[in-house]
Amino acid sequence: MKKKITLNLTFFTWASHMTNSSTLIVMIGLPARGKTYMSKKLTRYLNWIGVPTKVFNLGEYRREAVQSYKSYDFFRHDNAEAMKIRKQCAIIALQDVKTYLNEEGGQIAVFFVESICDDPDVIAENIMDVKVSSPDYPERHRERVMEDFLKRIECYKVTYQPLDPDQHDRDRSFIQVINVGQRFLVNRVQDYIQSKIVYYLMNIHVHTHSIYLCRHGESEHNIQGLIGGDSGLSNRGKEFARALRGFVESHKLVDLKVWTSQLKRTIQTAEALGVPYEQWKILNEIDAGVCEEMSYDMIKHMYPDEYAMRDQDKYHYRYPGGESYQDLVQRLEPVIMELERQGNVLVICHQAVMRCLLAYFLDKSADDLPYLKCPLHVVLKLTPVAYGCKVDMFDLKVEAVNTHRNRPLVTTFL
């Protein structure tokens, strides 16, 4: 499996079964242009779709080499001592990148991502949102941070060399992201993964919004301990649907979009809201194949080998005639793209689907994903912040069965 790296010059690297070469993704741009933001999101996305990716951030190397940052003077091009330190940090970072990539060997493709921004309001907002809380500024004094960081940007402008699409860099593979996604320039995309990177970067929009995730109300199959199927809501499930309407109304969610699967239990939950909703087939629950509408005890009795294999590797295990969590992640990729583009959205879905969506936003590993707790009758509010995601949980206080199965303590051997 080949690797991808992001350098936040940022560097990052990745490996994948999808190609036979590693890719070095080089983030370039002046400070406060969103390079770290984009690299962290891109890394999270690539890891989520099964492409092992690691970030090598030059800012972190510099902070480790220089424990206390004093002022923008450190970034002056005529500060010989500081320039020596910064060059050494870049060399160490590249050595670490080389070590990471050499674990796989083979050819290395280079893809540049340049963030260009000349909008002073966007730059100022980025400084206030992100740089004030940076380790470089422990005192958190907003006015002083703004003044110092703007001077730091001027220092970088002296030596910064942007990509030249028309002459020197016309044969390179790159994307230029202009004014946080107002325009894009894409040049010589070479392979599948580069096209995935471009597609993702063209879909992430920097705007304030929240994503609300919940499962359908408790269903009849939930009460019976059966997986899959297309049963309707139980009485408590209907009570949750009414409580969910009260939640939406009390939070005054403006222009809220509501998405459901095409299964009865999510549709019945949404209908109680009294607002328009969209049905997405790709939001349907994981397909359990021959095990649909069976309990886990029934599966253990009728298909003991399948039961044991699923406990050994729940993420990659595929039900006979059905899906694995890995399949489900691939199915849900268009949903992630739309959630990145939209405003406030309420997604009424299913346990496995909610786990996959949560794993993306919370940067959870494939190993942890199938065991994320997504109880019935609870709403999760996800609000993207600078370099992560803020989570608020709302228990709507309607009783329901517990459908969570813990990770096996001891692996079952066949």
In three-state form (DSSP H/G/I as H, E/B as E, the rest C), the secondary structure along the chain is CCEEEEECCCEEEEECCCCCCEEEEEEECCCCCCHHHHHHHHHHHHHHCCCCEEEECHHHHHHHHCCCCCCHHHHCCCCHHHHHHHHHHHHHHHHHHHHHHHCCCCCEEEEEEEEECCCHHHHHHHHHHCHHHCCCCCCCCHHHHHHHHHHHHHHHHHHCCCCCCCCCCCCCCEEEEECCCCEEEEECCCCHHHHHHHHHHCCCCCCCCCEEEEECCCEHHHHHCCCCCCCCECHHHHHHHHHHHHHHHHCCCCCCEEEECCCHHHHHHHHCCCCCCEECHHHCCCCCHHHCCCCHHHHHHHCHHHHHHHHHCCCCCCCCCCCCHHHHHHHHHHHHHHHHHCCCEEEEECHHHHHHHHHHHHCCCCCCHHHCCCCCCEEEEEEEECCEEEEEEEECCCCCCCCCCCCCCCCCCC
Domain contains 406:
no
CATH number for the domain that contains residue 240: 3.40.50.1240
Q: What is the predicted pLDDT for the residue at 131?
A: 85
How far apart are alpha carbons 270 and 250 in whole angstroms? 16
CATH number for the domain that contains residue 195: 3.40.50.300
Q: What contacts 121, CB < 8 A, 6 or more positions away?
A: none
Calculate ∠ Cα 303-307-309, nearest 5°.
Answer: 120
Same domain, 185 and 231: no
Domain contains 403:
no
Same domain, 290 and 383: yes
From 182, 201, 220, give the residue that closes a domain.
201
Domain contains 14:
yes
Domain contains 178:
yes
Same domain, 175 and 303: no
Same domain, 349 and 388: yes
Contact between 171 and 160 (Cβ < 8 Å): no
285 is catalytic: yes
Q: Binding site for substrate, residues?
A: 215-222, 265
Regions in the chain scoring below 50 on pLDDT: 1, 5-7, 9-11, 14-17, 413-414
Same domain, 225 and 323: yes
From 201, 221, 246, give the residue that closes a domain.
201
Same domain, 45 and 188: yes
Q: What is the predicted pLDDT for the residue at 388?
A: 86
Q: Is the pTM of this model over 0.75?
A: yes
Q: Binding site, residues?
A: 215-222, 265
Same domain, 299 and 378: yes
Domain contains 402:
no
Same domain, 50 and 68: yes
How many domains does the chain divide into? 2
Q: What is the predicted pLDDT for the residue at 20?
A: 60
Same domain, 245 and 292: yes
Domain contains 364:
yes
From 176, 201, 226, give the residue that closes a domain.
201
Active-site position among 17, 114, 154, 216? 216
Same domain, 67 and 120: yes
Domain contains 28:
yes
154 is catalytic: no
Q: What is the predicted pLDDT for the residue at 117?
A: 96
Domain contains 62:
yes
Range of the domain at 126: 3-201
Same domain, 305 and 382: yes
Active-site position among 154, 205, 271, 285? 285
Same domain, 192 and 222: no
